[in-house]
Structure 1
C-alpha cells in the first residue's frame, strides 16, 4: 500500500476566482483567489477527509480521471503525514505492570507515558507503520 495518494481535483476559473471540487468527496468544494492558495486549501481538506477515512477503515483509493473541459490539479496526500498531523491528540489508555517495575521506573525518574509511546512507535515502525 503506497503512502502517497494522488487525488484529481477539478478547477475552473470564473472572472478573478478559481472554483474547485472533488469527484470522490462531494464535501470538498470551494474557491480561492489564486492557484497556490487553492492547492493549500484543497490539500488540507483532503488530509482531513483521508484521516476520517483511515479512522473509519474506509477505502481510500483516489478516484479515476474524468474527461471534462475543466483543468485538473493533482493533490498529493501522505497517509503518514495525515496521521501525524491529525492523529496526535493524546488518548488515555490503562496500563498494568508489576509493582516492582513501577517502583524502579519511578526511582529512575522515567515517564511511563513517554516510554510506552517510544516502545509502541518502535514496534509500529518495525511493522511498516499504519496499514
Structure 2
C-alpha cells in the first residue's frame, strides 16, 4: 500500500474557509481557512484515519469512483495520501529480528566488518521495490 487517493468534498463554510468530508470514511472530517489549508488538513486527517484503521485491524475502504459520489453542496477533490512516506516518518522504531545464516557466511561477513542490519534493510528495500 503506497499512495492512496480518496475523493473528498470541500464545503464552503458560512464563516469563511472550507470544511472537508470523505464519503468513504465518515469519521474523517476537517477544515481550513482557505482551499490550500483545507487540502493540507484533509491530507493529515485522511492519514490519521487510515493509519488508525490499519493499526486497529479495521478495513481500509476502497475509494469510491468519482461518478458514484452524490455531491450537491461542495467541490469534489481527490486527496492523495502516501502511506509509505507516513510510515517511514512516524514508525522509525527499530525492531529486532532473529535470523539464521551459514556459519561460513557469518565468519566471512564478520571478518569484513559487514553491518548485518544495514545489509538486511537494503536487501528488503530492493526486494520490495521501495525507495529508501
TM-score (norm 2): 0.72
CA RMSD of aligned residues (A): 2.9
- Cα distance in 2 between the residues matched to 1:29 and 1:53: 15
- Cα distance in 2 between the residues matched to 1:24 and 1:106: 52
- Cα distance in 2 between the residues matched to 1:2 and 1:113: 24
Q: How far is 1:72 from its partner? A: 2.3
2:98 aligned residue: 94
2:46 aligned residue: 46
Distance 1:57 1:20, change over 3 A: closer
Distance 1:109 1:41, change over 3 A: same
2:126 aligned residue: 122
TM-score (norm 1): 0.73
Q: How far is 1:2 from its partner? A: 8.8
Unmatched runs of 5 consecutive residues or more in structure 2: none
Contact 2:20 2:31 in 1 (8 A): yes
Q: Following superposition of structure 1 onto structure 2, how do residues 1-131 of structure 1 map, counting pairs within 5 Å? A: 3-53=3-53, 56=57, 58-63=59-64, 64-125=68-129
- Cα distance in 2 between the residues matched to 1:105 and 1:2: 33
